[in-house]
C-alpha cells in the first residue's frame, strides 16, 4: 500500500545568504539556510498537507546534520537519507539576486558560488539508491540538477525513469543550471532525453532556449512530445500547459511584490503537484502553481509558507477578470 504522496530525490546544500545586497567580494557576513530544488518541493508539499519523502546523501559533518534536521522540521520523511563518512555536504553562497540561467547572463545581478564537487550527494547511483525506495510514492519528483552532478547520478536518473511495472507518475523539472554543466563531459541534451522519459515535465521558456536552442512555446512542445503533461513557464508572464490530447492551457501569473526570486520555480512545481494529487482541472493546477510561487517570491530565502489551502482554493476559483487583476503582497494578502 502506497503511504507517501510524493518522493523527491536530489541534492540539498547548506545555503549562505548575504546580510546585505552586493557582490560576494563585498558582503561581510552571511546567514545560514538550506537550499535544494527537490527538498524545496518536498518541504512545500509537506506544508500543504501531503506526505512527502526526501531521498539524498549528506556527509556526517555538521552541515549534513543541519540539512536533515531542517528538512525534517518541515514535516518531510528523511528516513531514506544516507550519511557518507568520506564525502562532505555541499554548500553554496549567493548574492541577493537570482542565479543566472545562461553563461552570458549579467553576473552583477546574480552571483552564486557552489562548493559541491565531490559531495556526498554526487555519489548517488543505482547501486546506492534502491529503485523500490524511490518508487515508494504516488509521484516521484526529479530535476535536471541531479543529472549534472556526476555520471553516477545520471545513471541513477536513467534507472529511475525506465518504464517498468510499479513505476509511479514521474515528474521532472528541467532546472538547467549552466554553471553545473560547464565542466560536464555530457551536454545539456541529456536533460531533454530524461524529460522524454517522464510523465510530467516543467521547463522554463528561457532555459529551453539556453540549454537546447529551442525558442518558443510551440517549438518546446514539438521537441518534447512524449510527456503526458508539459508545463512551459514564462516567468512573470505565466505558464502554458500542454496535455496529451494536444490542448494548451495558458494561465497568467498574478502580480507579486517580489522580495527575492529564488525558489519560485520549485514552489510552482509544488503547487502544481499538490493540485495534481487532488485531481484538480488543469487551469486550477496552473493557478495553484502560481500562488505557491508567489509565496516564495515574497520571502528572502528558498522556502516560504504556502498559502492556506482554503485561501488558495478561493483565489484559484476566481473568474478570469478577477484573477488577472490579482496582486499578492509580502504578507500573502491578495488585492484586485
Residues belonging to the active site: 266
Helix (H, G, I), strand (E, B) or coil at 25: helix
CB atoms within 10 A of CB 119: 25
* Cell numbers at 165, concatenated: 511495472
How large is the C-alpha radius of gyration of the chain?
19
Residues 6+ apart with CB under 8 A from 179: 100, 103, 112, 114
d(CA 190, CA 211): 10
Nearest residue to 271 via CA among 60, 73, 43, 17: 43
* Cell numbers at 167, concatenated: 513505476
Q: Which helix (H) or strand (E) holds 140?
A: strand 137-143
- Contact yes or no for 258/29 (Cβ under 8 A): no
d(CA 259, CA 98): 11
How buried is residue 166: exposed, middle or buried, by Cβ count under 10 Å (0-12/13-18/19+)? exposed
- Contact yes or no for 173/204 (Cβ under 8 A): no
d(CA 51, CA 28): 39
Amino acid at each position: 500500500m502506497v503511504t507517501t504522496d510524493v518522493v523527491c530525490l536530489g541534492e540539498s546544500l547548506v545555503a549562505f545568504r548575504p546580510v546585505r545586497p552586493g557582490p560576494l567580494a563585498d558582503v561581510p557576513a552571511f546567514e545560514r539556510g538550506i537550499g535544494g530544488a527537490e527538498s524545496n518541493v518536498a518541504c512545500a508539499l509537506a506544508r500543504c498537507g501531503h506526505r512527502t519523502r526526501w531521498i539524498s546523501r549528506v556527509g556526517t559533518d555538521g552541515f549534513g546534520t543541519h540539512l536533515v534536521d531542517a528538512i525534517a522540521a518541515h514535516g518531510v520523511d528523511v528516513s531514506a537519507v544516507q550519511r557518507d563518512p568520506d564525502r562532505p555536504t555541499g554548500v553554496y553562497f549567493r548574492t541577493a539576486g537570482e542565479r543566472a540561467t545562461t553563461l552570458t547572463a549579467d553576473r552583477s545581478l546574480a552571483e552564486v558560488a557552489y562548493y559541491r564537487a565531490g559531495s556526498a550527494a554526487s555519489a548517488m547511483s543505482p547501486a546506492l539508491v534502491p529503485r523500490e525506495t524511490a518508487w515508494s510514492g504516488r509521484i516521484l519528483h526529479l530535476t535536471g540538477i541531479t543529472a549534472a552532478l556526476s555520471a553516477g547520478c545520471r545513471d541513477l536518473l536513467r534507472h529511475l525513469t525506465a518504464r517498468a511495472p510499479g513505476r509511479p507518475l514521474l515528474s521532472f523539472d528541467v532546472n538547467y543550471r549552466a554553471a553545473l554543466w560547464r565542466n560536464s563531459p555530457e551536454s545539456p541534451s541529456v536533460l531533454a532525453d530524461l524529460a522524454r522519459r517522464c510523465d510530467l515535465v516543467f521547463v522554463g521558456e528561457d532555459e529551453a532556449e539556453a540549454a537546447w536552442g529551442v525558442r518558443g512555446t510551440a517549438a518546446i512542445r514539438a521537441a518534447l512530445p512524449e510527456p503526458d503533461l508539459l508545463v512551459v513557464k514564462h516567468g512573470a508572464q505565466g505558464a502554458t500547459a500542454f496535455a496529451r490530447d494536444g490542448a494548451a492551457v495558458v494561465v497568467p501569473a498574478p502580480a507579486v511584490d517580489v522580495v527575492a526570486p529564488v525558489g519560485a520555480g520549485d514552489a510552482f512545481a509544488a503547487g502544481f503537484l499538490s493540485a495534481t494529487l487532488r485531481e484538480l482541472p488543469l487551469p486550477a493546477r496552473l493557478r495553484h502553481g502560481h500562488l505557491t510561487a508567489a509565496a516564495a517570491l515574497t520571502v528572502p530565502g528558498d522556502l516560504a509558507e504556502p498559502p492556506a489551502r482554503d485561501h488558495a482554493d478561493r483565489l484559484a476559483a476566481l473568474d478570469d477578470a478577477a484573477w488577472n487583476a490579482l496582486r499578492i503582497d509580502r504578507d500573502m494578502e491578495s488585492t484586485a
